[in-house]
């Protein structure tokens, strides 16, 4: 059974009712044995858990330090293209937005990588708009060898691909795939994705299974917090994570918890996620899954990111650009969304070290067995 079938067998109404009728006794029970329990995750994501946030934070901090030490992995997104054949009303790359479009050629890509390497990064996330014909498997296959020659760990965040195409990229050095469902509510999904291949909710939902079968080392999951009820979307994200880990246990997993950010043609959140709510989310997922990697991007403010260190976050970006060519020429106005934390990597690392954390630029190396 695919996760699509699994999701169709769940009742959103019943899950929502349980979320919002959860009691303090259920939260206290969840805090006693949260690991791997979807029932406990539900309780920890519920409004009833808010008075227990300090207790959750302390437990999450302890578990994170036990599993990951004081280490925070550093990565950086490199935007390859802002071409997109989809209409998504929350994204600056949406096809109807009247912005300049650009796809990096190999010389431009090498120039961007040179700037990124000068910042000490060795883990890179390749990002593009979703344009299957002009920025598809042929383009990714042509640029990946050059990227892998410069970076030890290479991830992609692009349109869903076929299993054979993921296998092809694994052979060229691909290590990880970030594929975010945006929302697990099919009706809300349809409302915000009105044109292009991204309209296909089911195909996107089943992408992590194709990725895992292709032998990719790590899969990143996530929802765009604010499109729908963030508590229910986060709970269904937990169901997705649990399903994948039980079926594809050789694969590592991470989650990203991005909130809606301003962009060209963008929308306001349907349900606002406060800073306190974001803390609850991070702690709930850490208590639920001790080995899970949790990423925090520059969407969030500098002050908040500093305060969230240690609560469960294990991956951090700094000095990010969300536009193709943005590291060499940062003022080209091709951004996907607005950056909130605009500090340099050195400034972010200084803040991390002042709080007792170690920025890790490289923690993985391929080797012959």
Q: What gap in Å lies between CA 190 and CA 203, rounded to an integer?
A: 13
pLDDT tens digits for range 304-313: 999 999 899 9
Backbone angles phi, psi at 24, to 5 degrees: -65, -35
pLDDT tens digits for range 355-367: 999 999 987 666 5
Task: Find out whether 170 and 141 touch, Cβ atoms under 8 Å.
Answer: no
The full DSSP string for 28-39 is: HHHHHS-TT-HH
Task: Find out whether 171 and 145 touch, Cβ atoms under 8 Å.
Answer: no
CATH no. for 3-360: 3.20.20.70
* Confidence grade of residue 264 (pLDDT, cut at 50, 70, 90): very low
Model-level pTM? Answer: 0.94
pLDDT at residue 226, as a whole number: 87
Q: Domain locations in the chain?
A: 3-360
User: Looking at the predicted structure, is the pLDDT value of residue 336 above 60?
Assistant: no
pLDDT tens digits for range 89-144: 888 788 887 788 999 999 999 999 999 999 999 999 999 999 999 999 999 999 99
Q: How many CB atoms lie within 10 A of CB 13?
A: 8
């Amino acid at each position: 059974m695919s996760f699509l079938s699994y999701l169709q067998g769940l009742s959103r109404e019943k899950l929502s009712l349980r979320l919002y009728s959860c009691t303090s006794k259920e939260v206290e029970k969840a805090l006693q044995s949260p690991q791997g329990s979807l029932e406990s995750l539900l309780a920890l994501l519920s409004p009833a858990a808010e008075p227990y946030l300090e207790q959750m934070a302390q437990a999450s901090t302890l578990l994170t330090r036990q599993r990951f030490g004081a280490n925070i992995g550093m990565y950086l997104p490199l935007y390859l293209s802002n071409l997109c054949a989809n209409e998504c009303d929350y994204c600056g790359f949406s096809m109807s937005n009247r912005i300049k479009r650009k796809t990096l050629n190999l010389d431009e890509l090498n120039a961007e990588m040179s700037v990124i390497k000068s910042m000490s990064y060795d883990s890179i996330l390749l990002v593009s708009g979703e344009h299957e014909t002009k920025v598809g498997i042929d383009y990714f296959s042509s640029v990946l060898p050059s990227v892998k020659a410069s970076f030890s760990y290479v991830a992609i965040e692009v349109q869903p691909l076929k299993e054979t195409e993921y296998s092809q990229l694994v052979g060229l050095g691909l290590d990880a795939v970030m594929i975010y469902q945006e929302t697990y509510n099919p009706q809300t999904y349809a409302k915000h994705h009105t044109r292009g291949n991204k309209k296909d909710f089911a195909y996107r939902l089943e992408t992590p299974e194709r990725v895992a079968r292709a032998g990719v080392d790590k899969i990143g999951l996530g929802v765009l917090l604010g499109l729908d009820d963030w508590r229910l979307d986060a709970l269904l994200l937990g169901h997705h994570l649990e399903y994948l880990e039980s079926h594809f246990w050789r694969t590592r997993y991470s989650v990203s918890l991005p909130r809606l950010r301003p962009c060209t043609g963008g929308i306001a959140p349907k349900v606002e996620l406060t800073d306190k709510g974001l803390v609850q989310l991070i702690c709930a997922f850490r208590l639920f899954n001790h080995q899970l990697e949790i990423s925090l991007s520059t969407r969030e403010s500098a002050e908040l990111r500093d305060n969230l260190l240690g609560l469960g976050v294990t991956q951090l970006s700094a000095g990010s650009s969300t536009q193709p060519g943005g590291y060499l020429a940062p003022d080209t106005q091709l951004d996907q969304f607005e950056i909130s934390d605009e500090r340099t990597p050195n400034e972010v690392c200084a803040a991390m070290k002042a709080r007792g954390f170690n920025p890790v630029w490289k923690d993985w190396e391929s080797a012959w067995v």
